[in-house]
Amino acid sequence: MKILGIETSCDETSVALLEDEKVIANIISSQDFHVEYGGVVPELSSRAHLQMVMPLFKKTLEQSSVSIEDIDLIAATAGPGLIGALLVGLTFAKGLSYSTGKNFLPVNHVEGHIYSGFLMDRKPEFPYLCLAVSGGHTLLLIVKSDTEIVKLGSTIDDAAGEAFDKVAKMLGLGYPGGPKISAAAASVSSSSIKFPIAHCKNEFDFSFSGLKTSVLRFIQKEYGNAENIPAGDKGLIAYSFQKSLVEALTRNVVKALNQFRVKSISLAGGVAANTLLRSEFESIAGKIKVPLVIPSLDYCGDNGAMIALRGYRLFNAGRRGTFGSNAFASMPEDNFTGYKK
């Protein structure tokens, strides 16, 4: 089966082509111009998606040496994400499907991330524990089957990537914050600065707003503002912040692994590109001898391949899309089964 995947939820336009679960093409165009605004400007994002989606679609077909007639399924991100941005890819996919008679399936963006491990040679095995960490979400899940994803916990305030982005801004490191913080922390091997990790009522939930505020207070108290922070101290703050945030994530992962038997562990989303987080996952999985599946960097950030893959799995599980599917009705938590002790 040939599956086209279209992703336009935020600041990456991506079109991919899969042959079953094998990636034939995965073209990503990142909207780098948001950097000068210090964050994604929704209206500019929608306009750039409009400009890029058709050329990327054509390039994907060309690169894969297939024509539209060969495609069996068109999967597109329906949400969550920026509404204007989502509408571009979703409407493009619907139009393509309507005009060609090909199957269309709307896909949840977070589920795309959760399935990005299946793009790797070694795939996760059900049930698997997945930590999905991106700019918009922080979720700890058990993926039981293609149609049952159980949510153990999520963030009660900021998403992990959002905390990275905000702290990078406080330090004057620029956007997106994750890679900047990671780079600033890379040359540091220890720091006496300690930032607190919050405990939540639900033991699997996360909270990063206290951590973020304590970084802000520290900067205000010690330096007054970001301009006065020496470069070396920025590295120390970045290091300590990253250490606390990664510890907050892995602490809940370890708790979950002590309580639930899983066959694989997976990490997904933009923050899964973080070197420290990846190495902590390797050591956790190594200790309990459970296979770990971490997507390669191409598949951590937003991409069309993960959307095509999730679409393929859902299609095989009997899911069919209608043109009534819309970007306004697709919130992530709705799709996950609640967890009760």
Residues engaged in binding ligand KG4 (CB under 6 A): 10, 134-136, 161-162, 164-165, 176-179, 182, 269-271, 273-274, 301-302
Among Zn ion, ligand KG4, none, what does residue 177 contact (CB within 5–8 Å per kind)? ligand KG4
* DSSP assignments along 283-340, one per residue: HHHHHHT--EE---GGGTS--HHHHHHHHHHHHHTT----TT--GGG--SGGGSB---
Nearer to Zn ion, 158 or 302 (CB): 302
Residue 135: which residues within 8 A CB-CB, separation 6 or more? 10, 159, 161, 162, 165, 176, 270, 271
- Residue 79 partner contact from Zn ion, ligand KG4, none using kind-dependent CB cut-offs of 5 to 8 Å: none
Q: Binding partner of residue 274 among Zn ion, ligand KG4, none, CB under 5 to 8 Å per kind?
A: ligand KG4
The entry of Zn ion, ligand KG4, none that residue 174 binds, CB within 5 to 8 Å by partner kind:
none
From CA 85, how far away is CA 11, in angstroms rounded?
Answer: 8
- Burial letters 243-270, b for 16+ CB under 10 A, else e: bbbbebbbebbeebbeeeebebbbbbbb
From 26-34, 149-157, 300-308, 332-340, give the range in contact with Zn ion by CB under 5 A.
Answer: 300-308
Task: Select from 116, 302, 308, 336 the one that contacts Zn ion (CB under 5 A).
Answer: 302
Q: Which residues contact 234 (CB under 8 A, 6 or more apart)?
A: 171, 172, 173, 184
Structure tokens at 120: 């790797």
Q: Are strands 264-268 and 128-133 parallel, antiparallel or unpaired?
A: parallel
Q: Give least dist CB 273 to ligand KG4, A.
A: 4
Q: Which helix (H) or strand (E) holds 207?
A: none
C-beta closer to ligand KG4: residue 178 or 321: 178
Which range, of 114-122, 123-131, 134-142, 332-340, touches Zn ion by CB under 5 A? 134-142
Shortest distance (Å) from residue 232 CB to ligand KG4: 21
The nearer residue to ligand KG4, 79 or 301, going by C-beta atoms, is 301
Binding residue for Zn ion, selected from 60, 97, 134, 155, defined by CB under 5 A: 134
Query: Where on the phi/psi map is residue 20: left (φ > 0), alpha (ψ -120 to 50), or beta?
Result: left
With CB under 5 to 8 Å by kind, the binding choice for 161 among ligand KG4, Zn ion, none is ligand KG4
Task: Name the segment binding Zn ion (CB under 5 A); options: 29-37, 53-61, 209-217, 302-310.
Answer: 302-310
Least CB distance from residue 196 to Zn ion, whole Å?
28
> Applying CB under 5 A, which residues contact Zn ion?
134, 302
